[in-house]
Amino acid sequence: MAKRKMSTFERLQKGEKLRRWERKELERKFQAEEPGWEVVHKDVAGIDVGNESHFVAVDPKCCPQPVREFGSWTAGLQEMAEWLKSCGVKRVVMQTTGVYWIPVENVLQAAGFHVAVVDARGTKNLPGRKSDVQECEWIRKLDTYGLLRKSFQAPESIRGIRTVWRLRDRLVKDAGRAVQQMQKALTTMNVQLANAISDVSGKTGMAIIRQIVAGERDPWQLAKLRDKRIQAREEELAHSLEGNWREDVLFELERVLESYDFLQEQIAKCDRQVEEYMGQQPTREVVKEGAAEATVGVAAGKRRRKKTAVKPPKNHPVFDLGAELTRLLGVDLTLIDGIKLMTAQVIYSELGPDLSAFADEGHFTSWLGLAPRRDISGGKVIKQHSGHVCNRVANALRMSAQALSDSDSYLGARYRYLKARLNCGLKAAKAMARYLACLVYRMLTKGQAYVDRGAAYFEQKRQDRDLKQLQRKAAALGMQLVPTA
């Protein structure tokens, strides 16, 4: 009979020791000569985070058994904290492994440790055999000599807003898929409602779908539900609602409609929760750095845009999100062309109102993954590439940049110029997204207000720049440019 494999809980309760080859590897490392580098952080512990258990390494001088394994359950994490205190540890370093590091961070921070969460890309081990024991010891050594950088984390006060807003985003996407399924069911029955009205999920479309589910089959009766804003005539709408009513597809349509209504209820609950969380946040007063820097992009004689009260678009929160964001951020990010209200909410929910954790806008755009990476050897750039970074703020800024394609503004003219020069829409969107990120950073850190200069101003500056470049080339060839009459 095969021997049953012990679970992690049973193995740790039994007190099973490290494997023989792991003990030998640790002894060899501990007896090796120190590199002689400057110690930046003392009393450091490294943790290799896992699903079932966590491996923790401390300085061999602090404990005869410098590497231990602890369970992922709460009692195991509390035992880890007590052991680290007995070893005199003050700073703990771990990788961002999924979401497994979050409970560890919460317990250790409550115990009074300084927890540094670092990017796993900065802790890549040396080539060769890799184990959890080697990984936690490697993390500890890297941080001891100051070779790791702490990752940015949103303030604790807005993490609730971030969680609910991400959930709301998933619900909105699920609701969009439900609308597609309803349209598919109607098309299967040859009910061409999508060809008569532009939005099936609008007032007229949902009223017709609900009457179809309720049992109405007369196309003329369904066409009477037409809203006065619909361009299609009632006759056209009635002809589009003639179909072959199949019981199985009607059953599918009814279930999808119920799912859509449930998702709308969940979105409304998320809106109320976000409104409550945002109402608990303090009002932010941004201190401006001087009258000369009070505006970004101001032009002489250019008046500020006036906002008119309009009905919020579909899928927007029902409360006044714009007023709350202006109160919490201290500035109005929607003054920047391309950045809409939902984009500003993504920026706030992911980053918070304070960007002082980033030294300058270059560090900020690099963290977003919008700055190019350059490999330099011998003082020369041998390779330039863009790393793959999954960042919700960066994705929102890319979409904002693409929305500037038809904008008659300074930013719109700049985006079209980049798109023509780079001959690639994706590269232009990324470059423009970086510029938008710089504007956001300046507004949130310096209290600057953005005022559009206009597309004509950008074109004039571009012509002046091209003229100066031609004059330099002509002077280098011993010539002089002469304007035509």
- Is residue 363 exposed (0-12), middle (13-18) or buried (19+ Cβ within 10 Å)? middle
The whole-chain average pLDDT of the chain stands at 84
Is the domain of 137 the same as that of 183? no
Is the domain of 175 the same as that of 127? no
Is the domain of 137 the same as that of 165? no
For 279, phi and psi rounded to 5 degrees?
A: -65, -20
Q: Are 392 and 399 in contact (CB under 8 A)?
A: no
Q: Are 185 and 244 in contact (CB under 8 A)?
A: no
**373 secondary structure, DSSP code:** E
Predicted confidence (pLDDT) per residue in 370-386, tens digit: 888 777 777 787 777 77
Is 28 within the bounds of a domain? no
Rg (CA), the chain: 30
To which residue do tokens 């029902």 refer?
318
Is the domain of 330 the same as that of 457? yes
Is the domain of 134 the same as that of 221? no
- Is residue 445 exposed (0-12), middle (13-18) or buried (19+ Cβ within 10 Å)? middle
Is 274 within the bounds of a domain? yes
Total-model pTM? 0.82
Domain stop point among 262, 279, 296: 279
**What does the alpha-carbon distance between residue 227 and residue 165 come to, in Å, rounded to a whole number?**
32
* Average pLDDT of the residues in 55-62: 87
Is the domain of 415 the same as that of 353? yes
Is 232 within the bounds of a domain? yes
The CATH number assigned to the domain holding 190 equals: 1.10.287
* Average pLDDT of the residues in 11-39: 60
Q: Rounded to whole angstroms, what are the CA distances from 85 to 66, 90, 105, 140, 265?
A: 13, 8, 15, 16, 48
How far apart, in Å, do the first and last CA atoms of the chain sit? 101
Is 299 within the bounds of a domain? no
Is 153 within the bounds of a domain? no
* pLDDT at 125 (0 to 100): 58
Domain stop point among 144, 170, 204: 144
Is the domain of 164 the same as that of 240? yes
Is 8 within the bounds of a domain? no
Is the domain of 111 the same as that of 205? no
Is the domain of 320 the same as that of 429? yes
**123 secondary structure, DSSP code:** G
The number of folded domains in the chain is: 3
β-pairing verdict for 380-385 and 373-377: antiparallel
* pLDDT at 311 (0 to 100): 66
Is 474 within the bounds of a domain? no
* pLDDT at 342 (0 to 100): 93
Is the domain of 268 the same as that of 329? no
For 460, other C-beta atoms within 10 Å of its C-beta total 12
Is the domain of 329 the same as that of 405? yes
Predicted confidence (pLDDT) per residue in 248-297, tens digit: 999 999 999 999 999 999 999 999 999 999 999 999 886 665 433 334 55
pLDDT at 17 over 70: no
* pLDDT at 128 (0 to 100): 58
Is 287 within the bounds of a domain? no
User: Per-residue DSSP letters for 42-99?
Assistant: -SEEEEE--SSEEEEE--TTT-SS-EEEEESSHHHHHHHHHHHHHTT--EEEEE--TT
Domain residue limits at 220: 159-279
**What does the alpha-carbon distance between residue 114 and residue 108 come to, in Å, rounded to a whole number?**
8
* pLDDT at 310 (0 to 100): 59
pLDDT classification of 121: cutoffs 50, 70, 90: confident
Domain stop point among 110, 144, 178: 144
Is the domain of 331 the same as that of 438? yes
Percent of the chain that is helix, strand, coil (3-state, to 5): 55, 10, 40
